[in-house]
A and B are shown apart, each in its own frame.
Chain A
C-alpha cells in the first residue's frame, strides 16, 4: 500500500461520510475540526513514524489529501 492509499484509509476511518477525493478545504472549510486534526496527526505519526508539528498546520498541507500525502513524504525524507 502506498502513502496515499494508507492516508485515505486513515481519513476514511476518521470521517466515513466525507468524500476526501474531491474535498479541497479540509481545514479552511472546517471539514476537519481541531480534534480531528490532532487525531489525524497521531495516526500519521503511528503509521509513517513521522513528526508533524503545529507549524505544519497550514491549509496548503492539510486542505487536500494530496497536500497531506506530500507533507508525509517530505517528513519521511527528513528522517
Chain B
C-alpha cells in the first residue's frame, strides 16, 4: 500500500482511532497487527519472510542475552574460587558461543536477502558469459533490505553489549515490522527506537498536529514535485540514443530534485506517521544538498544507512585483527604512510561495493558505489594539499568559495545519481560523455524541454517549489520550522497549513486514472 494512496490515509485513521480509544495496554498489539496487515497487503506469503527474520534474530538475541546472564551469575558465584586466568578463559568461551549464535542468525538472514535479491543478477552475469541458466521467478519481499539490516544491527549491538536482548517477542516483532519504517527506512536502531515504540502513549493533540503537518509536507514533496518530474526523467533516461548532451544536464537536475523530493518526502511521511502515535524516530537527512564535499554529503543524506555501514561493516573490517596485522606488515615494509592508509582504503572499498550492491542487484549500483569510493579516496589523498591551498589562497570561511563548493558537490552528486536511471552502465557513461560532445544547448530555449512530459505550467510549478524547498532549508538551518510556526498567531499558522493542503490538492500530479508512482527507495 503506497503512503500516498487514499487507502493508506484510511488505514492510518483507523489504526490511530483504535490506538487511542482502546486501553493503552493494547497499543503495541494494535501497532503490531496494523504492521502485519500493512505488510500482508504487499502479498500475504511475504509475511513468512518477515516472520522468519523476526524469529531467527529474536531467538539468537535471546540466546545471547541468556548467555550473558549465565556468565555474570557464574562469575559472581565463583568470584573467590576462580583465578583471573580461569575467569578470562571462561568469559572467552561464553563470548565465542554468543558469536556463533550471532553469526548463524546473520548468515541465515543475509542468505535469504542474497537469494531473493541477487540470484537473478548472478544468473544474468553467468548467462552473459555464455551460461544458459533459467531466471528464477522470485520477487523481493517488501522492505527486506531494510529489516535485514535492522535485525543484523540488533544482534551485533547485543554482542557488543551496547543493548540488552529483548525478552518480549511482541516488542521485537514490532521493532522490525513497524509499518512506517519497513518500506524505506530509516534503518532504525533497536537501542534508539524500542523504548519510544513500546511504551504507552497518551493522546496528545500536539503530536497529531505535528505529525499531520510533517505528513502533509511529505505528500507535497512526493505528489507535487517528485511525481511531476517522473515522466521527464523516464523519457530522457528511457531513450539514451535520442536524449543526449544538454538533455543529460536536465536529467541530472531533474532526477536530483526528484530523488530528494521522493525520498525525503517518504521519510517525512514515515516520521510524521510515527509522531502521530507519539513515537519519535531519528532523522534521516540534514539538508544534504548544502554539503560542501561528497564526504559531508554522505554524512547528511540517508544518514541511517551511512551510519549502519560505518558501524557494522567499516569499523569491524578496518579494526579487525587481520587488518591491524596487515597494517603493521605494511608499515614495516612500506613505511607509515602506506601502512596507515591502505588498510583503511581496502575497508572503504568493501563498504562502498556493498553499499552499491545493497541499493540494487545491478552493475549500475555497484559502479555507482565504487565511483563514490574513488572520489572520496581522491579527496582524502588530496586533503593536505587542499588545506595548504586554503591557507595560502582562499580561506575556507570565504562565503563565495563555500557556495562554489556546494555547487561543485551538487554537480558531482547529480552526475552519480543518474546511474539509478539507466538500464546499463555503458549508457550512463555515453550519456555523461555526450554532455561535452553534443553541444545541443539550444534545447533550453527552443521549446524542446516542453516535449518531455512537462508543460509550461509544470515547469513553473517545479521552479516555484524548488525555490520553496531552498527557502525552507535556509530557514531550517536555524531550527525546526514546525516549532517556529508555533510562535505564529493561530490564524497565520492555519493559513499556511491550508495553503500546503490546497497545494497538494491542486498541484499534485494526479491526472486521469491517477496512480502515484512507487517511492524510489522502496525498490532498494
Out of B159, B160, B162, B319, which one reaches A38, CB within 8 Å? B319
A11 CB, nearest partner CB in chain B, Å: 15
Question: What 0/1 pattern do residues 20 to 46 of A give for CB contact below 8 A with B?
Answer: 000000000010011101110110011
Residues of A within 8 A of B314 (CB): 34
Q: Which of chain B's residues has its CB closest to A54's CB?
A: B315
Residues of B within 8 A of A45 (CB): 324
Cβ of A58 < 8 Å from any Cβ of B? yes
- Greatest chain B CB density within 10 A among A46, A53, A54, A58 is at A54
Q: Which of chain A's residues has its CB closest to B325's CB?
A: A45
CA distance A46 to B343 in the complex (A): 15
| A42 and B324 contact, CB distance less than 8 A | yes
Out of B316, B328, B344, which one reaches A35, CB within 8 Å? B344
CA distance A66 to B314 in the complex (A): 25
| B319 and A54 contact, CB distance less than 8 A | yes
B310-332 residues with Cβ-Cβ distance < 8 A to A are 310-311, 314-316, 318-319, 321, 324, 327-328
B348 CB, nearest partner CB in chain A, Å: 8
Residues of B within 8 A of A78 (CB): 88
CA distance A54 to B311 in the complex (A): 8
Residues of A within 8 A of B295 (CB): 33
| B160 and A54 contact, CB distance less than 8 A | yes
CA distance A34 to B343 in the complex (A): 13
| A55 and B159 contact, CB distance less than 8 A | yes
| A41 and B319 contact, CB distance less than 8 A | yes
Residues of chain A at interface, number, CB under 8 A: 19
CA distance A78 to B84 in the complex (A): 10
Residues of A within 8 A of B162 (CB): 55, 58
| B160 and A39 contact, CB distance less than 8 A | no
B147-190 residues with Cβ-Cβ distance < 8 A to A are 159-162
Out of A30, A38, A51, which one reaches B315, CB within 8 Å? A38
Cβ of A57 < 8 Å from any Cβ of B? yes
Q: Which of chain B's residues has its CB closest to A78's CB?
A: B88
| A38 and B299 contact, CB distance less than 8 A | no
CA distance A48 to B371 in the complex (A): 37
Cβ of A71 < 8 Å from any Cβ of B? no
Residues of A within 8 A of B321 (CB): 51
CA distance A54 to B159 in the complex (A): 11
Out of A34, A51, A52, A54, which one reaches B316, CB within 8 Å? A54
Residues of B within 8 A of A54 (CB): 160, 311, 315-316, 319
Q: Which of chain A's residues has its CB closest to B157's CB?
A: A55
| A39 and B319 contact, CB distance less than 8 A | no
Q: Which of chain A's residues has its CB closest to B295's CB?
A: A33
| B310 and A52 contact, CB distance less than 8 A | no
| A38 and B380 contact, CB distance less than 8 A | no
A35 CB, nearest partner CB in chain B, Å: 5
Out of B161, B316, B327, which one reaches A42, CB within 8 Å? B327
Hey, which bits of chain A sit against chain B, CB under 8 A? 30, 33-35, 37-39, 41-42, 45-46, 51-55, 57-58, 78
Closest 3 pairs (CB-CB, A-B): A55-B160, A54-B315, A38-B318
A-B contact pairs, 26 of them (CB 8 A): A30-B299, A33-B295, A34-B310, A34-B314, A34-B318, A35-B344, A35-B380, A38-B347, A41-B319, A41-B324, A42-B324, A42-B327, A42-B340, A42-B343, A45-B324, A52-B319, A53-B316, A54-B160, A54-B315, A54-B319, A55-B159, A55-B160, A55-B162, A57-B315, A57-B319, A78-B88
Hey, which bits of chain B sit against chain A, CB under 8 A? 88, 159-162, 295, 299, 310-311, 314-316, 318-319, 321, 324, 327-328, 339-340, 343-344, 347, 380
Known: A39-B340, A54-B311. 20 other contacts (CB 8 A): A34-B315, A34-B318, A34-B344, A35-B344, A35-B380, A37-B315, A38-B343, A38-B344, A41-B324, A42-B324, A42-B340, A51-B321, A53-B316, A53-B319, A54-B316, A54-B319, A55-B161, A55-B162, A57-B311, A57-B315
